[in-house]
Amino acid sequence: MATAKKPTTRRKTTPAKPEPAACPDCDGKGEIRETVRVGARKGRATDDHQTALCLTCWGTGQNPD
């Protein structure tokens, strides 16, 4: 003898968590890009660039607030 199927109930879904805001300093990338400067007094800018970890968000790309 076959057993009767129970009616299935709908699962309650939790609303999706909003994504955290992007860091204002690095635009959510986690790294900042700086121009390399050369020279003692004038600090002439070169065509070279250097990337560094964003100190505001510590590389996460999320707004710390």
Domain that holds residue 56: 20-65
Q: Considering only CA atoms, which of 60, 38, 58 is closest in space to residue 50?
A: 38
Domain for residue 10, yes or no?
no
- So what's the pLDDT on residue 37? 86
Tokens of 25: 């300093």
Residues of the chain short of pLDDT 70, as ranges, are 1
Domain for residue 37, yes or no?
yes
Residue 31's H or E segment, with its range, is strand 31-38
In the chain, the number of structural domains is 1
pTM for the model: 0.48
Domain for residue 53, yes or no?
yes
- So what's the pLDDT on residue 1? 62
